[in-house]
Amino acid sequence: MKSKSLLPVEFMRRNFILPSGDRKFYITLKTPFYVLEDLRFSLGDFETEFVDEEVFNEKMEEFLSSIDSRIEEEEGIETPFSEDLLSGSDAPIIQLLNSIFIKAIRVNASDIHFEPYEREIVVKFRLDGILHEITKIPSGTYQKVVSRIKVISRLNVAEKRLPQDGRIGVRIGNKQVDMRVSTLPTVFGERVVVRLLDKSHKVLTLEELGFSGRDYEIFKSIITKPHGLILVTGPTGSGKSTTLYAALRKIWVPGINILTVEDPVEYQIEGINQVQVNPKIGLTFAAGLRSILRQDPDVVMIGEIRDLETAEIAVRASMTGHLVLSTLHTNDAPSSIARITDMGIEPFLIASSLECVLAQRLVRRICSKCAYKYKPSEQEREIICRYLDDAVPEYLVKGKGCESCLGTGYSGRIGIYQLMRVDEEMRGVISKTSDTEVIRNVAIEKGMKTLFQDGLEKAILGITTLEEVLQVSRE
């Protein structure tokens, strides 16, 4: 493998020495003196820079993530998997895979895709919801990479005809990362997707999600009610679970009992008991929900309402003294009423139990390191005037694209929201009809913003771009 140093990775890690430039090395107090003398005898004189162990680990992480992943066709000797990616083997395949993992973790990718084609394998990272091609692997090497992934995720290496699912727990310095692996047989080999869940990543607070002032105050007041049903809607990957976790963190105090049933449990929250769904042994959402209702809960969170049985239990629980939070897959807040009605729940039960519906999407934030102001075009001015009564701002903001954001102009994401509060007037409407247009019109008259309007306000504030809002939510 081509790399920045002639020194083996394991030698550098074990002896706390790392190249920092031409004839320069980072060292620590743990670097053996005899190693420096041996290197001076072999390489001639060089400079050294003392750093503490934490800084050294960061530099080692940077070094490993920059290793050239275009390796040659060569046999790699498999060694037992080490949980710490910084203490990896010198075997080429292991170094290649570790460097990909480290790069993904460093740039906060949510997924790694290994896509096999006829002549090469393309490696992509999903950053802020968008796939970016990162590197390519020769097709002759790819099978060894897949075998390595299967070994460390405890999958059947010999099985290449059926899809498989597994998990990897890794550490990079002080960061713990849970990787979920999925393989899928294709014409040119097995396609592999690795989902990254950073266990050390803190769960966002309600204040950090991106609510407007009005929506924040309304939602906060609703989640502190003693009972009722709260629904968060949106497509897969729109941040629904993050919102529910933030709500639970906001309302948790030592005096209340909060239980969740999820598939999967993405992040563990201190003080809250979380149940992992396992359909193989009969632990479905409905079965788990029935069981936790016998555990004397004050607040119940259901990962998703998928069927009539779960919906019925959730509605009844919300009407018998429990605060129930859950998610649905609908396009906006008003259409959630029709969705629950279609499942078989009576409209008067929905009207009696439902407190609010929060629809959401995620938009990319403008990269703060390359952001710049520009004058909006005529088309942009027309869009802003059409949907907002406020005057068109003199300047909007976008990102030029830099090394920090991989040239995208964006870094991180923030939510845009549509909050439909169910008050007495709205309960009367819902009990009479599930027509989405009727419910939407009443909600707008009562002050509900659309997803697009909320996104537009964030674009005017310089948080995201108008282009991004148009892509994610167009009225």
Q: Rounded CA gap, 285 and 294, in Å?
A: 15
Give the pLDDT of residue 75: 35
Give the pLDDT of residue 168: 83
Is the preceding peptide bond at 264 cis, omega within 30 degrees of 0? yes
Question: Both tokens of residue 219?
Answer: 């939602």
Q: Which own/partner pairs from 268-276 qualify as long-range (CB within 8 Å, at least 24 positions apart)?
A: 268/199, 269/203, 269/245, 272/248
Q: Rounded CA gap, 295 and 6, in Å?
A: 60
Helix H segments across 28-106?
33-43, 53-65, 92-106
Distances in whole angstroms, Cα of residue 166 to Cα of each of 127, 155, 163, 190 = 22, 6, 10, 14
Pairing state between β 120-127 and 130-138: antiparallel
Q: Rounded CA gap, 311 and 345, in Å?
A: 7
Q: 253 near 224, Cβ under 8 Å? A: no
Q: Rounded CA gap, 456 and 396, in Å?
A: 11
Q: 1 near 71, Cβ under 8 Å? A: yes
Other beta carbons within 10 Å of 370: 19
Give the DSSP per-residue string, 333-345: STHHHHHHHHHT-
Residue type at position 365 = R
Q: Rounded CA gap, 19 and 5, in Å?
A: 7
Whole-model pTM: value is: 0.74
- Strand ranges for 199-237 from DSSP E: 228-233
| Dihedral (CA of 148, 151, 157, 159) sign | negative
Tell me how far the alpha carbon of residue 169 is from its chain's centroid.
Answer: 17
Q: Coil, strand, or helix at residue 326?
A: strand
Angle between helices 335-343 and 308-318 (to 10 degrees): 110
Q: Coil, strand, or helix at residue 429?
A: helix
Give the pLDDT of residue 65: 65
Strand partners, 299: 258, 323
Quote the Cα angle for 22-25-30, to 5°.
175
Tell me the HSE value of 439 on the side-chain side, using a 13 A CA sphere. 28
Question: Both tokens of residue 17?
Answer: 């020495």
Q: Rounded CA gap, 51 and 40, in Å?
A: 20
Q: Rounded CA gap, 177 and 264, in Å?
A: 15
Q: Rounded CA gap, 52 and 451, in Å?
A: 48
Question: Both tokens of residue 459?
Answer: 């674009």
Residues in the chain, pLDDT under 70: 1-8, 41-42, 65-90, 173-174, 199-201, 389-390, 474-475
Q: 182 near 196, Cβ under 8 Å? A: no
Four-CA torsion 227, 233, 237, 239, nearest 10 degrees: -50
Which one, of 455, 445, 359, lies nearest residue 414 by Cα? 455
Distances in whole angstroms, Cα of residue 14 to Cα of each of 8, 9, 11, 17 = 10, 9, 5, 8
Pairing state between β 189-198 and 175-186: antiparallel
Which one, of 206, 225, 224, lies nearest residue 216 by Cα? 206
